[in-house]
């Protein structure tokens, strides 16, 4: 049961990520995306700092400053690229690119953390990637449409870069955690990133306080979801290698589809069944390989 604990933590984290993105979808309808990111990241970071203080600040390892510095830098770069891409690119084309992060993690985790998945686990990761990609394809698009768009869309190039950078970000986050704990690392990274986005928004003279007054409930729900998800994901990293945890974390795509159908009454649920089955099969392989079967 202890061997499987990381899986349940990562899966619960994935479900909370889906809840988080549902709240963000509501938030960006009435608030600028950069402002939204700044507010949610900063409030989440400050909340985690409080929890870290109550828990007792950990002893800091010698690699913490380097790892957290890289984490903050990558958080900011990916955030800027992500929002730039969504300004010019359809969501149904942009999001499938993010599905490839676990595949890149097979290589980056081996280099940065010396973590290598079992061959069966690699197959499981690839199945999760394929399932996540299929789930994200709009019914009006074909499977190769995102790749064709790369040739003519700067936004798609941005999203592919984001997917690659995410694979480095996860590893530096874990490295920072190994040199502190699972509370102080995300607290530091999210607080600094949130301050950057808010300062950037202020420099662009975007309204900040007024939109907040109309979206307090949504902001609170988003913050609670991302705090819980972050703690669960970082805790699972302490038990299992990054490629496996992030692959299970990508099950948030599946949960988003289910929640979209049940709560938002979105259509096309049956068309996404193939992607869902691929992800479940991939998750099963990862669990079996990590358990030594």
Mean pLDDT of 236-257: 84
- Report whether pLDDT(139) > 80: no
Q: What is the DSSP string of the chain?
A: -HHHHHHHHHHHHHHHHHHHHHHHHHHTTTS-HHHHHHHHHHHHHHHHHHHHHHH-PPPPPTTHHHHHHHHHHHHHHHHHHHHHHHHHS-HHHHGGGGGGHHHHHHHHHHHHT-----HHHHHHHHHHHHHHHHHHS-TTS-TTHHHHHHTT-HHHHHHHHHHHHHHHHHHHHHHHHHTS-TTHHHHHHHHHHHHHHHHHHHHTT---HHHHHH-HHHHHHHHHHHHHHHHHHHHHHTTS-HHHHHHHHTTHHHHHHHHHHHTS--S-TGGGHHHHHHHHHHHHHHHHHHTT-
Burial (CB < 10 A; 0-12, 13-18, 19+), residue 263, is: exposed
pLDDT at 37: 87
Q: What is the pLDDT of residues 265-285, one digit of tens each?
A: 656 666 566 777 787 788 878
pLDDT at 159: 82
Q: Is the dihedral of CA 68, 107, 163, 241 positive or negative?
A: negative
Report the C-alpha gap between 80 and 55 in whole angstroms.
Answer: 33
Higher pLDDT, 75 or 250: 75
pLDDT at 193: 93
Mean pLDDT of 22-34: 81
Percent of the chain scored above 90 by pLDDT? Answer: 41
> Do you know the residue count of the chain?
293
Q: Range of 170's domain? A: 2-290
Task: Classify residue 6 by its DSSP letter.
Answer: H
Percent of the chain scored above 70 by pLDDT? Answer: 82
- Report whether pLDDT(231) > 70: yes
pLDDT at 113: 94
pLDDT at 16: 92
- Report whether pLDDT(33) > 90: no
Report the C-alpha gap between 125 and 127 in whole angstroms.
Answer: 5
Q: What is the pLDDT of residues 70-119, one digit of tens each?
A: 999 998 898 888 777 766 666 556 666 777 888 899 999 999 999 988 88
Q: How many independent structural domains does the chain possess?
A: 1
Mean pLDDT of 241-245: 91
Confidence band for 21, pLDDT divided at 50, 70 and 90: confident
Q: What is the pLDDT of residues 57-72, one digit of tens each?
A: 999 999 999 999 999 9
Gyration radius from the chain CA atoms: 18
Confidence band for 18, pLDDT divided at 50, 70 and 90: confident
Mean pLDDT of 227-254: 88
């Amino acid at each position: 049961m202890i061997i499987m604990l990381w899986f349940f933590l990562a899966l619960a984290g994935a479900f909370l990520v889906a809840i988080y993105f549902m709240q963000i979808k509501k938030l960006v309808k009435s608030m600028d995306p950069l402002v939204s990111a700044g507010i949610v990241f900063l409030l989440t970071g400050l909340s985690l700092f409080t929890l870290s203080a109550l828990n007792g600040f950990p002893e800091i390892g010698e690699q913490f400053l380097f790892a957290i510095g890289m984490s903050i830098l990558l958080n900011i770069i990916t955030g800027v690229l992500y929002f730039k891409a969504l300004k010019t690119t359809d969501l149904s084309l942009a999001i499938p690119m993010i599905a490839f992060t676990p595949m890149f993690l097979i290589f980056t985790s081996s280099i940065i953390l010396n973590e290598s998945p079992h061959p069966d686990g690699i197959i499981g990761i690839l199945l999760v990637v394929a399932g996540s990609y299929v789930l994200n394809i709009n019914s009006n698009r074909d499977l190769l449409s995102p790749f064709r768009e790369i040739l003519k869309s700067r936004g798609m190039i941005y999203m592919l870069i984001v997917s690659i950078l995410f694979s480095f970000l996860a590893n530096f986050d874990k490295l920072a955690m190994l040199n502190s704990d699972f509370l102080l690392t995300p607290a530091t990274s999210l607080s600094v990133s949130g301050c950057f986005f808010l300062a950037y928004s202020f420099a662009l003279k975007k309204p900040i306080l007024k939109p907040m007054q109309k979206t307090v409930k949504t902001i609170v729900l988003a913050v609670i979801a991302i705090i819980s998800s972050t703690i669960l994901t970082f805790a699972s990293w302490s038990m299992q290698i990054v490629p496996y945890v992030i692959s299970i974390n990508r099950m948030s795509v599946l949960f988003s589809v289910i929640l979209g159908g049940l709560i938002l009454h979105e259509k096309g649920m049956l068309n996404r069944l193939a992607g869902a089955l691929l992800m479940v099969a991939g998750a099963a392989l990862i669990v079996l390989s990590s358990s030594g079967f």
